Chains A and B, each alone.
Chain A
């Protein structure tokens, strides 16, 4: 069990560019979650997959955000036409049959 991994750990981009983040959950965890965290706040839910099915999306998730989990294993989160307000830590978590979610190290996005 190597834990949840995320790539890249840091991303700096210019406003208007597209970015994609990857999350590899703990093996055999069928649920995968994306959260966003800004300085001084707790993580905010973005979206949730059970296996390959995207079951819930937050109202915070604008049309510029899209997430996939094509084979029920790793997941990608894409942000199109980035804005300065998208600067945040993007966290991925996974869980199995219980409700306890285990988090990865996060991807720090800076939009210039």
Chain B
């Protein structure tokens, strides 16, 4: 059974204070690892797909990396508008996504 664990559950940062979110996973036959952003009361918004260990992707202040057991979402010099819940998910032998419980990020001005 595919499993995803995210840490920390919640993170408070000062504006400009860089940090990383962790996603540990176990999956049979990784098809892809996905990062989403979710604002309260809204659906998840796609950020990145990573397919193999060593792969990295960047978008504005966000950078996602992947190893065989973990993925990290690095946030550089965050702004208050980056406050949201960040979800990690994997797709294995089945096409559906298995999600972690998310990291709730708050960036204080």
User: Chain A interface (Cβ within 8 Å of chain B)?
Assistant: 4, 6, 31, 33, 35, 40-45, 48, 55-56, 58, 91, 93, 95, 98-106, 108
Contact = CB atoms under 8 A, between A and B. Distances in A.
Interface residues of B, number: 24
A93 B96 CA distance: 10
A99 B41 contact: no
B92 to A, nearest CB: 10
| Consensus secondary structure, chain B interface | strand
Contacts, number: 62
A42 B99 contact: yes
Given A41-B101, A43-B44, A43-B99, A100 B34 contact: yes
A99 B49 contact: yes
B87 A42 contact: yes
Nearest to A48: B96
B99 A100 contact: no
